[in-house]
Amino acid sequence: MPLRGALAEDDAGEYLSGLLIGAEIAEGRRLFPEGAPAVAGADALVARYLAAFASLEISATAAPADAAARGLLRLARAAGVV
């Protein structure tokens, strides 16, 4: 909302990040309503996701630090790239 003056320009990134996290969680819950979320990524982003899940009273955990890299390696192997 910076264009309308409802939000300070410095806060726009945080606001957008929150919208995207919320949308992603909503879609994930729609697709996997009974799933137990594990969040992988950079520490700061994982903290944001875990806070969002906690505010929704959904139990979520941080994935191991190398989870994304291991997953990408598995995909590459399955595709015959490596």
- 43: domain range? 2-78
Q: How many domains does the chain have?
A: 1
Both tokens of residue 27? 């879609």
The average pLDDT across 2-10 equals 71
63 touches 40 (CB < 8 A)? yes
Both tokens of residue 72? 């990408």
2 touches 9 (CB < 8 A)? yes
Per-residue pLDDT tens over the stretch 7-57: 777 778 888 899 999 999 999 999 999 988 999 988 999 999 999 999 999
d(CA 71, CA 53): 23
- What are the beta bridge partners of residue 53? none
